[in-house]
Structure 1
Amino acid sequence: MNAPAVFQAALWMCGALFSFMAMAVSGRELSGEFTTYQILFFRSVVGVLLIGALVTRSGWGQIRTERTGAHLIRNLAHFGGQYGWFFGLAFIPLAEVIAIEFTAPIWTALLAALILGERLTLPRLSALLLGITGLLLILRPGLGVAHPAAFAVLGGAFGYALSYIQTKSLSTTETPLCILFYMTLMQLPMGMIPSLIDWKTPGLHTLPWILLVGVTAMSAHYCMARALKLADATVVVPMDFMRLPLIALVGFLFYEEMIDIYVVLGAVVMLSGNFINVVAEHRKRLKLKP
């Protein structure tokens, strides 16, 4: 890994960070007009058009699959994750949403052990314990301080974790564009059908936000994937942790959201556990290299 590659990875991560922040702000703006289901439907419509254009350019043969069931399980889990995330944006501070979202690696480690049979090493157990400790600091159960939407975001983080496990399984046989194609295609009716119960036709003033939430939902993951291809996770993941202070700043400047010290402390504890695990996994890969 050379310096130019690391610099390019940093630029891609800047794109990912901007995309995640823009998606959060557009989701917050749309939540005042539409239900969470309708926001997810709009996101999928834009996603289908974008991914369809990319697949047209690179070849439709790659979307042939014999694993429709696996795609469906992944997308049910991912849709649940997205629902919890966007639902939380409407009710709790942006920084709290992102902090709780960072519990996804905790659930991923547990699910990988249960489903894939991966071993819970000491670093993974440390990350698990620190993650739970950080989560308890943020939610403070029993004190009546957590908004119910925080638990929706927590459920969403579990959904993301399950989708990560399914993505790892699917990536052995499917291309990234194939996975994204079925993600947008399958999640389109998941958002559309419940949206019809309380449908609201978008006005012209909402179209920029709809376009932004759809584009950034795709660009965030694309930029992160490009960054991970250029640099090790030990370089990329700490950059992703910058999402928390940046989104806290956005919440303060645009929505006058005060920064909760318990959210900050919980996030620091949680991210420390994640970082310990990432460094340990990196060292393990170096030892395995011939």
Structure 2
Amino acid sequence: MALSMSSFIAMSVGSRELAAALSIRQVLFFRALVGLFVIALFIRRLWPEIRHLRQFRMHVLRNAVHFTAQYFWTIGVVVLPLASVFALEFTMPIWVAFFAWALLGERLTRARLLATLGGFIGVLVIVRPGIGIVDPAAGLVLLAAMGYGLSLVLVKRLTRENSPGAIVAWMILIQLPLGLIAALTDWRPVHVSDIPWMVVAGAGALSAHYCMAQALRRLDASIVMPVDFLRVPLAALVGYLVYAELIDIWVFLGGAIILLSNLQALRAERRS
């Protein structure tokens, strides 16, 4: 979990630094390109499964959703304080529950409905509509969280016939051309000084998801979620030290409401 949190923050910093010189669409392309080099090391092991094209249409749908969510999330990382981005992203479990009910037929419990209400209140605390001007980027981060939630539910469907390695490989193979097409519409000159940040962003993305998956194999979600919430204060600390971002108490308060709402739902479902 420590490696996962560090990787998520490293990916955020790398993406923000790249976006200072390149377009956000280029950032997504180069993140995927770095992932391609990593996946290439394991392609011989994964190829026998990939060539069967199992659930290919669902792979395309899942990655189109995930790519769009990444685009919105990266805009948030560039525009908003890092702590705000991660706090708003913690609404994702609510969307996972909703899409699991809508697409997989999973039961939407009373505890999860209360978590949804708590998450909505937490978002209002963070963005505080009516007090100053609400940054539109906050809405994009919420859309990204929704997209990530739908993407996770589609991944659950994909695991019925695909291994995790094949799902990640298809993610790179589909999102790389999507990123290239998008990047060509807003291409800017690339310099050698950008390469280290490409590696940080790309490797951080793969490392974050891999370490999170490993943690979930060893720990209950009810344990992982409170630990993962440490990303918010850690992101606030990095934002303060690296970008001189002010630490906003409302972000922590709203994030805590979202976290506790989801944690209470998990505990209630575990007891039942």
Q: Taking structure 2 as the reference length, what is the TM-score of the superposition?
A: 0.95
Instruction: Confirm or deny: 8 A CA contact 2:90 2:259 kept in the other structure.
Output: yes
Matched with 2:86 is 98
Q: Provide the rounded CA distance (Å) in 2 between the counterparts of 1:239 and 1:246.
A: 11
CA drift at 1:278: 2.4
Identity of aligned residues (%): 45
Q: Provide the rounded CA distance (Å) in 1 between the counterparts of 2:223 and 2:87.
A: 20
Matched with 1:227 is 215
CA drift at 1:276: 1.2
1:120-269 alignment to 2 at 5 Å? 120-269=108-257
CA drift at 1:275: 1.1
Q: Provide the rounded CA distance (Å) in 2 between the counterparts of 1:19 and 1:281.
A: 30
Is 1:43 the equivalent of 2:9? no
Structure 2 residue runs without a partner (length 5+): none
**Range 18-27 or range 118-127, more displaced:** 118-127
Q: Provide the rounded CA distance (Å) in 1 between the counterparts of 2:163 and 2:109.
A: 30
Q: Provide the rounded CA distance (Å) in 1 between the counterparts of 2:54 and 2:76.
A: 35
Matched with 1:28 is 16
Q: Provide the rounded CA distance (Å) in 2 between the counterparts of 1:84 and 1:172.
A: 29
CA drift at 1:34: 1.1
Q: Provide the rounded CA distance (Å) in 1 between the counterparts of 2:267 and 2:83.
A: 25
Instruction: Confirm or deny: 8 A CA contact 2:95 2:146 kept in the other structure.
Output: yes
Gap change, CA 1:92 and 1:100, over 3 Å in 2: same
Q: Provide the rounded CA distance (Å) in 2 between the counterparts of 1:225 and 1:127.
A: 23
Amino acid at match of 1:223: C
Secondary structure of the 2:41 match is: helix
Matched pairs, number: 271
Amino acid at match of 1:276: Q
Structure 1 residue runs without a partner (length 5+): 1-12, 285-290
Q: Provide the rounded CA distance (Å) in 2 between the counterparts of 1:54 and 1:249.
A: 36
CA drift at 1:168: 0.7
Instruction: Confirm or deny: 8 A CA contact 2:25 2:186 kept in the other structure.
Output: no
Q: Taking structure 1 as the reference length, what is the TM-score of the superposition?
A: 0.90
**Range 104-113 or range 212-221, more displaced:** 104-113
Is 1:85 the equivalent of 2:73? yes
